[in-house]
Amino acid sequence: YCDIQCEEIQEMLRKLPDPRPGTKCHEKRGWLPVGFSDQCREIINKQVKAVLRRKMNIPEN
């Protein structure tokens, strides 16, 4: 996620604790907590929808 230029996600990454010694790396999510990728996906989807609404002049509600 280091290449995603989204301040909200970068802040989430900064708040993550370092993995404890001996913690095994998960094959799909590495050392990220369960649900982290889902949260990031929701944030990006929300931002993409907002940009598309602005570009297409679609009201938010």
Q: Answer for the pair 6, 43: CB distance below 8 angstroms, yes or no.
A: yes
Tens-digit pLDDT profile for residues 17-44: 999 999 999 999 999 999 999 999 999 9
Reading the block at residue 33, the tokens are 């907590």
pLDDT of residue 16: 95
Say how many CA atoms lie within 13 Å of 22 toward its Cβ.
0
> Is 2's pLDDT higher than 80?
no
pTM: 0.79
Mean pLDDT for the chain overall:
92
> Is 57's pLDDT higher than 90?
no
